Amino acid sequence: SSNQFLDTSLPRYVRVNTLKLDTESALLELGKQYKVQKDSLLPDLLVLPPHTDLHNHPLLVNGSIFMQGKASSMVAHALGPKPGWKVLDACAAPGNKTVHLAALMKRRGKIIASELDKRRITRLKETIRLSGASNIKILCGDFLKLRPEDPSYAKVRAILLDPSCSGSGTASSRLDHLLPSKTADSDTERLDKLAAFQSKALKHALSFPAVERVVYSTCSTHHIENEDVVQSVLPLATTYGFQLVSPFPQWHRRGLPVFEGSQHLLRTDPDVDGEGFFIALFVKKHADDDSEN
């Protein structure tokens, strides 16, 4: 039906915070109360039945698990930071992906998390505290104003860029758009503004001197914020020696065919996957011998 996106029978996902608990233990513990299994794609993700209410569960309260969707949990894996690396999370709050990066890096290396919105910094700090990570430095300010030539960023090897977006792929936004008051015109202007910022931020990320991997992600379904943003930075990316690489090559939903190479991009379908996400992965040629290509 046209209202199938109102269907709430999609599974619940929880990401295991492997800084505090290993996936097997989380599986055992949650298995005492719920029907739970491991996700087929992500090693630190568990799948529970729809409507499972975990909000008071001790594992959630103590930061051993995070309520985090599958698409959102794919982003840090796509970046694939190695333990010991210096990594930048450009638009970090509320910090779900920041602390996921920390878990993948196994407490080794350094994460710099920049966030513009002071109020959202509070939530970022709380997420970090809950995660138990101790190698995350918060920068309160505009990512676009970080100077790539600053020595503090000389060793940044990976950047996660998950900028503000329309959120059109999220369940709440899709419900909003059932309201007749939402007009297409006001949307176009808003999307153009967002896309201009996204493109600028992505170019900025690609310009850090030692960066080898850049992930760009949104929770938008609009090609203006997704494929078009990627296409707009391709000439610059090529100049810097980056190529698009396929995150999760086994995943079947890929970028819309708007330019050559867009099959490397990853999409999730809100109707099938619960949320509409977009992921692009740029890798500097010769920088990474065990990259996905």
> Which residues contact ligand SAM by CB under 6 A?
91-97, 114-117, 120, 142-144, 162-164
The nearer residue to ligand SAM, 96 or 226, going by C-beta atoms, is 96
Q: Minimal distance in Å, beta carbon 167 to ligand SAM?
A: 8
Residue 274 CA, chain-centre distance (Å), reads 15
Which residues are designated catalytic?
219
- For residue 144, the minimal CB distance to ligand SAM (Å) is 5
Tell me how far, at minimum, the Cβ of 82 lies from ligand SAM, in Å: 20
CB 213 within 8 A of CB 157: yes
| CB-closest chain residue to ligand SAM | 91
Give the residue ranges of the annotated binding site for S-adenosyl-L-methionine: 91-97, 115, 142, 162
Q: Which is nearer to ligand SAM, 36 or 72 (CB)?
A: 72
Q: Which residues are annotated as a binding site?
A: 91-97, 115, 142, 162
| Residue that has been written with the tokens 């407490």 in this structure | 107
Cβ nearer to ligand SAM, comparing 64 with 218: 218
Q: Which is nearer to ligand SAM, 144 or 171 (CB)?
A: 144
The minimum distance between CB 96 and ligand SAM, in angstroms, equals 4
Of 265, 247, 288, give the one whose Cα is nearest residue 42: 247
